[in-house]
Amino acid sequence: MPTLAKKTPARPVSRPGRPAPELIFGDLWPFDPAPETADPKLQPRYDLFIGGRFVAPQSGKYFDSINPANEKKLAEIALAGPADVDAAYAAAAKAAGPWAKLPGRERAKYLFRLARLLQDRAREFAVAETLDGGKPIKESRDFDVPMAAAHFFYHAGWADKLEYLAPGRRVAPLGVVGQVIPWNFPLLMLAWKLAPALAAGNTVVLKPAETTSITCLKFAEIIREAGLPPGVVNFVTGAGEVGAAVVNHPVPAKIAFTGSTDVGKLIMRALAGTDKKLTLELGGKAANIVFDDAPLDQAVEGIVNGIFFNQGHVCCAGSRLLVHEPVADAVLAKLKRRLAVLKVGDPLDKNTDIGAINSAAQLQRIRDLVAAGESEGAELYQPACRLPDKGYYFRPTLFSGVTMSHRIAREEIFGPVLSILTFRTVEEAVEKANNTAYGLSAGVWTDKGSRILKLSTELKAGVVWANTYNKFDPTSPFGGYKESGFGREGGRQGLLDYAQLT
Amino acid sequence: MSRLPVTKTPKPYVGGAFIRSESGRTYPLADAAGAFFAHVPQCTRKDLRNAVEAAAKAGPGWAKRTAYNRGQILYRLAEMLEARGDEMTGTLVRFGAARAAAAREVAASVDRLVYYAGWADKYEQVLGNVNPVASPHFNFTVTEPMGIVGVIAPDAPALLGLVSLVAPVIVSGNTVVALASEATPYPAVLLGEMLATSDLPGGVVNLLTGFRRELVPTFATHAHLRALSAAVGPEDAKTLRLGAADSIKRVRIVDATKPADWLSARAESVYAVRDFLEFKTTWHPIGA
């Protein structure tokens, strides 16, 4: 019978007085580049999409759309003028009657087609989205594009079931809807806007953000492939003055806007003397609340996803971390370690975690607010990652020692910058979380189900994520309290915002 | 020798108490025959702000009441109005309504309160839902009251208009600061006395009397009013919407210049309750 030799460990398991050794990845073991190579099938020049056709702007003017990752020109985009907006609304108004009268069953099939065609061309759209907006390919590939398709698929099935939408009342389309969307999720916001509007029987004039028009105009190709009747969807491109023309035009019965709270207020004032309906999805300054009983490693992943998803260009970003005092040091240490291995760089690289900031202007705004955070006395931490030479990049940033009065705790930064505050009691957490003019979203990390429900009852926010963050679903209504806007997008509640009760 | 009647001093009902305007201002009110009726407090912006404070104090407690309890309290208010129906009808007649029309208005007001009382523990079941998300989460959308809501009642019908605007707002746990009909403010004063005896906590409904032109701009811009429900003309509507933009306030307007059938069943709806609710969606994890 063989004797079992007592094995000695190769290395001591514990070394008293010294921290456990750990492997640091990051720059020591660089990843090989892993660029996504699918062809985005970009055209050198994109025209307006009006009445089912691509038409040149009446001014003949175009502007450049650049890739924020390397500042190179991607394509020329038509600059719409008031006459083009007129033409778009005329096309939408002409299409409105027949589209509304089309049996819901048939309208539904058009929307199902849009969903399917987008799925067919998903990789192409993902690459185009990443090139145009700077977001990591893994996000556009795994989130933006599939979620956009899902929104069309979900709303398609509503088109012939609208009698179930508002119990006790019948619903009718509003008519023509004007929509203005932001640059952070160009294709997804387009889907959030178009799908419910079309399902409810409206026709649309939509303006994408000027820095991210490409996937919108590529979607016009899908609209043509789907055979959607001309004029049901029209796209006009350009900057704020085109948006103003879309909003102030007399034809639309409703305006839907996603963007900053400041512009939302301008739109409310612009519509004050009219009968137009309005929904607004505006800014946020969400609290992500971590209790001491939370699974901390999972929470740290959620915090990172909450603030660094899409470079922090997310209206519902978890930009205020509220940590329970007993675990504050541990969470901060884990966060720093996690930040050290985040990969910042080429958005087309499949390993990239944080891509390019969407524009030079946005990069400047982030820098200004970070400078304000430092000058107001918060403690800054940034990992020492290398940034590409060209393009707009910003290191993932933590601020600890933040108080409620700091600008970085009150103003929406819309960048990869996390402000960390602490709390001692549940009441203090709720008080701090609600102490903001915004009310879009919040996160809660705890092992106690009853505490999740208590917090979700007391937080003044339209979406509360428990032990997760930045989750979206077409069936799940999204939208804010207070100055984060009104109306919902997604689900039954969102769809009703595109119908009138009769 | 006939007995000299004791006349009542009209006092708005604010924070559970009957107040005079902090300004001391009043204006003389005549009845339909042109006879002097009483001096009515001409409430000021400061009175409005005080009323908002009272509503803010009452809000959390009212919102935490059970739906069953809120329903019973609204029903109790209907009982109070029914019991004093003759007095209210007489008041409406004194201010110009035909007796039959006044009786109809009072009956409709009572019925409207009963209608909304019944919604208290049902609107959630109709307006909220569970969402079948494509991830391991129990995802549900529930409603919450918005907070303090400003109500501007139509000039007519003075009672039914006010009741129709206030009831769907408070049934869900909001609190109200309301401006009574400018032309006929007294029914609102009388309603305040019924509110005071209806088990409704003080501060949940605060009724002001006064002039629209003085108070509409403050209703529009007061940041603690989270929403407005107003039966006004286009000009006031524009003022309200412009001011509301400063704090992204929700605004529901009934165009008071268009003929409206306040008596009809169309004037009551769960969607009037919905207009003063926020939808909150919670993603609750499923799993160990």
pLDDT by residue (tens digit) across A142-185? 999 999 999 999 999 999 999 999 999 999 999 999 999 999 99
CB contact under 8 A, A468 and B133: no
Task: List CB contacts of A239: < 8 A, sequence separation 6 or more.
Answer: A210
Give the residue numbers of A annotated as catalytic, written as ranges: 281, 315
- Decide if A120 contacts A106 (C-beta within 8 A): no
What is the distance between the alpha carbons of residues A412 and A410, in angstroms, rounded to a whole number? Answer: 7
User: A52's torsion region: left (phi>0), alpha (psi -120 to 50) or beta?
Assistant: left
**Cβ within 8 Å, pair A466-B141:** no
Q: Taken in order A346, A348, A352, A356, is the CA torsion positive or negative?
A: positive
| pLDDT for residue A3 is more than 90 | no
User: What is the mean pLDDT, run by run of 10 residues, along chain B of 288 residues?
Assistant: 91 97 96 96 98 98 98 98 98 97 98 98 97 97 98 97 98 98 96 96 98 97 98 97 97 92 93 98 91
Cβ A462–B281 below 8 Å, yes or no? yes
pLDDT of A24 above 90? no
Taking the C-alpha atoms of residue A87 and residue A85, their distance in angstroms, rounded to an integer, is: 5
pLDDT-derived band at A25, boundaries 50, 70, 90: low
| Other residues' Cβ atoms within 10 Å of the Cβ of residue A411 | 16
What band does A28 get if pLDDT is binned at 50, 70 and 90?
low
ipTM: 0.95
Burial class from Cβ neighbours inside 10 Å (0-12, 13-18, 19+) for residue B48 reads buried
Torsion of the alpha carbons at A81, A82, A86 and A87, rounded to the nearest 10: -20
pLDDT score at A406: 96
B131 CB contacts (<8 Å, ≥6 apart)? A473, A475, A476, A477, A491, B139, B140, B141, B281
d(CA A496, CA A299): 35
On whether any CB of chain A is under 8 Å from the CB of B4, the answer is no
CB contact under 8 A, A491 and B244: no
Cβ contact B248–A485 (<8 Å): yes
pLDDT band at A22 (very low <50, low <70, confident <90, very high): low
At CA B218, angle to CA B214 and CA B220, rounded to 5?
120
> φ, ψ for residue B59 (rounded to 5)?
-55, -55
In chain A the domains, ranked by start, together with CATH numbers, are: 45-282+482-501 (3.40.605.10), 287-466 (3.40.309.10)
CB-side exposure of B192: number of CA atoms within 13 Å? 26
Please state whether the peptide bond connecting residue A68 to the residue before it is cis, i.e. omega within 30 degrees of 0.
Answer: no
Q: How many residues does chain B have?
A: 288
Residue type at A460 in one-letter notation: K
Q: Is A260 on the interface with B (CB under 8 A)?
A: no
Supply the pTM of this predicted model: 0.94
User: Cβ contact (<8 Å) for B281 and A265?
Assistant: no
| A342-360 confidence digits (pLDDT tens) | 999 999 999 999 999 999 9
Measure the CA–CA gap between A76 and A74, rounded to whole angstroms: 7
The tokens for B96 are 């110009």
Q: Is residue A296 helix, strand or coil? A: helix
Task: Tell me the pLDDT tens digit for each residue of A125-137.
Answer: 999 999 999 999 9
Determine the pLDDT at residue B28: 96
Instruction: Kindly state the average pLDDT of the residues A12-31.
Output: 64
CB atoms within 10 A of CB A138: 18
Please list every residue in chain A whose beta carbon sits closer than 8 Å to the beta carbon of residue B168. none
Axis crossing angle, helix B99-119 with helix B158-170, rounded to the nearest 10:
0
- pLDDT for A16 beyond 70: no
Which pair of tokens denotes residue A224?
Answer: 């043509």
Residue A27 is predicted with a pLDDT of 58
pLDDT tens digits along A370-422: 999 999 999 999 998 889 999 999 999 999 999 999 999 999 999 999 999 99
How high is the pLDDT of residue A2?
53
Q: Tell me the residues of chain B between 34 and 93 that have a Cβ less than 8 Å away from chain A.
A: none
**Domains and their CATH numbers in chain B:** 13-25+35-285 (3.40.605.10)
- Segment A289-316 shows an average pLDDT of 96
Backbone angles phi, psi at A146, to 5 degrees: -60, -35
Is the distance from CB of A437 to CB of B223 less than 8 angstroms?
Answer: no
Does residue A26 register a pLDDT over 70?
A: no
pLDDT at A258: 98
- Which of B226, B247, B283 shows the shortest C-beta gap to A471? B283
> Which site among A438, A493, A497 would you substitute to test the B interface, given the most B Cβ atoms closer than 10 Å to its Cβ?
A493
Residue A464: which of B132, B278, B282 has the nearest Cβ? B282
- Spatial distance between the Cα atoms of B61 and B134, rounded to a whole number of angstroms: 37
Is the CB of residue B284 less than 8 Å away from at least one CB of chain A?
yes
In angstroms and rounded to an integer, the radius of gyration of the C-alpha atoms of chain A is: 24
Residue B197 has a pLDDT of 95
Chain A hits for B221, Cβ within 8 Å:
none
**What's the CA gap between A212 and A185, in Å, rounded?**
9
In what helix (H) or strand (E) does residue A53 lie, and over which residues does it extend? strand A53-55
Find the distance separating the first CA and the last CA of chain B, reported in whole Å.
Answer: 86
Residues of B in contact with A167 (CB under 8 A): 126, 270
> Confidence band (pLDDT; 50, 70, 90) for A302?
very high
Give dist(CA B47, CA B100) in Å, integer.
36
Per-residue pLDDT band at A213 (split at 50, 70, 90): very high
- pLDDT surpasses 70 at A14: no
pLDDT of residue A30: 74
Q: What is the mean pLDDT of chain A?
A: 95
Q: CB-based contacts of A97: which residues, under 8 Å, 6+ apart?
A: none
Query: Which helix (H) or strand (E) element contains residue A391?
Result: none
- Reduced to 3 states (helix: H, G, I; strand: E, B; else coil), residue B179 is strand
Helices (H) and strands (E) in chain A, counts: 16, 20
- Do the chains contact at A269 and B245, CB–CB below 8 Å? yes
Do B280 and B143 form a contact (C-beta atoms < 8 A)?
yes
Q: Letter for the amino acid at B231?
A: A
Residues of A in contact with B132 (CB under 8 A): 475
Give B31-69 pLDDT, tens digit per residue: 999 999 999 999 999 999 999 999 999 999 999 999 999
pLDDT at A17: 67
